[in-house]
Amino acid sequence: MKSPVTIENKRITIQGKFLKTARLEAEYYEWVEDAEDFIGKLKNSGIRADVFTFLQEIGNQTRRYDFHCETDSIAVLPITSYENWWKSQINDKTRNMIRKAQKNGVELRAVPFDDELVRGIMEIYNESPVRQGKPFKHYHKDFETIKATHITFLDQSEFVGAFYKNELIGFIKLVHGAKVSSLMQIISKIAHRDKAPTNALIAKAVEICGQRGVSYLHYGIWGKGGGLGDFKKHHAFEQFDLARYSVPLTAKGKLMLGLNLHRNASEYLPEKCHSFLLNVRKKWTLFRYRNQKVVMGQ
């Protein structure tokens, strides 16, 4: 459930039923600069939440606060230059995949955020109701919803499209911060994966970051393996552990933090059990959508 509360121009969302946890709606893309001041404003806002959780900035791994602290593992690529990444950080197989895109006629170019791009994004999203073994959340959303989803952070963003014979077959939304850029979205058409457009888009993102003097490129959470996790490793992304702070806002929040019962239930599962459940979910999802056009792949 989303909250209408906004603090310092940052929207706050609330999750959970029994324990209500507040966090920045766009965490990983915007940050709490002065935590004590921010939390004071949050408490004075009248927000109905038991705990507030927030992350420390990417690139700053020194613990700043004495609040209850755990870690979030994210995928980050340290960048010195595009040349160093190309020659020293990736292997021959990955380089060949990037070359493959060019040989197959994939063209990369910067694109403005306009209605034409939104329509192209919708075509990519509507290719299959299933991606990565789970229902794809953007499948068959309407034009205005997709536009609103991607219009955020426009003053900090670059869009790059991957085109094949003038058809948009993939794109990235790259959001720039202080010494850190984030891949807010990267996706390609599964039907064109033989042309390696996603590999080429990663390379383009690294090139842009190198030109801007960006030190880190962030690409979502750090997976425990599998298709997307291996894809990140092959492109030289590494596991970065960010400090995640949790601050009680109510007596219930203080109690649950003290008992270490504030996290999602799935986070308490052993890794083998987690992997088993993910596999079950994948099989169930494919069965559920068996009568629809499911394009296999990522």
Domain that holds residue 84: 76-239
In a domain, 289, yes or no: no
Domain boundary among 187, 219, 239: 239
Same domain, 103 and 193: yes
Domain shared by 18 and 104, yes or no: no
If asked whether residues 50 and 125 sit together in one domain, one would say no
Question: Do residues 65 and 145 share a domain?
Answer: no
61 pLDDT higher than 80: no
pLDDT of residue 295: 57
The candidate with the shortest Cα–Cα distance to 244, out of 39, 36, 16, 64, is 64
Q: What is the pLDDT of residue 225?
A: 60
Q: 145 and 175: one domain?
A: yes
- Domain identity same for 235 and 267: no
Banded model confidence at residue 1, pLDDT cuts 50, 70, 90? very low
- Dump pLDDT digits (tens) for 137-146: 999 999 999 9
Number of domains in the chain: 2
Same domain, 265 and 211: no
Q: Is residue 291 part of a domain?
A: no
Residue 271 covered by a domain: yes
Residue 194 shares a structural domain with residue 261: no
102: pLDDT strictly greater than 80: yes
Domain boundary among 191, 215, 239: 239
pLDDT at 290 over 70: no
Does residue 268 sit within a domain? yes
The pLDDT of residue 96 is 97
Q: Is residue 284 part of a domain?
A: no
- Residue range 21-36, pLDDT digits in tens: 999 999 989 999 899 9
Q: What pLDDT does 223 receive?
A: 77
- In this structure, are 158 and 231 located in the same domain? yes
Q: Please write the tens of the pLDDT for every residue from 219-253.
A: 999 976 668 889 999 999 999 999 999 999 999 99
Say if residue 144 is in the same domain as residue 246. Answer: no
Residue 62 binned pLDDT confidence (cut-offs 50, 70, 90) = confident
Question: Is the model's pLDDT at 297 over the cut of 60?
Answer: no
Whether residues 263 and 230 share a domain: the answer is no
Is the pLDDT reported for residue 51 higher than 90?
A: yes
Q: What is the CATH number of the domain that holds 172?
A: 3.40.630.30
Residue 87 has pLDDT above 80, yes or no: yes
Percent of the chain at pLDDT above 70? 86
The average confidence (pLDDT) of the chain is 89
Q: Is position 55 within any domain?
A: yes
Predicted local distance difference test score (pLDDT) of residue 23: 96
Whether residue 285 is contained in a domain is answered as no
Residues 120 and 209 in one domain: yes
